[in-house]
Amino acid sequence: MIGKKISEVNELIKGKRNITVQWDILLSIVFDHPEQKWLKFQNDFDYKEAKIQMSDKIKEAQSKKKKIKGREVFEDF
């Protein structure tokens, strides 16, 4: 129906393939969903994954931010 191999769809379902603009358009047609719905799901997933991977850097930046209250943020940049 969408011109993709079964293996490609399988990879998408298993999370081995990311949603792209092209996939979003095709899935939106097949499931009668608004365009960009699937991209938003992918973006939310990517954002959460990045926060998990960056947790140490986030804590470090938050700690440094607390220490420089009252000073110009870019002063020590």
pLDDT at 65: 82
Q: State pLDDT tens for residues 31-59.
A: 999 999 999 999 999 999 999 999 999 99
pTM value is 0.69
pLDDT at 72: 63
pLDDT at 77: 59
The correct answer on CATH 2.60.40 for the domain covering 6-68 is no
Domains of the chain by residue range: 6-68
What per-residue string of b and e applies to 40-74 under the rule 16 or more CB within 10 Å gives b? eeeeeeeeeeeeeeeeeeeeeeeeeeeeeeeeeee
Q: Which residue has the tokens 């608004």?
A: 34
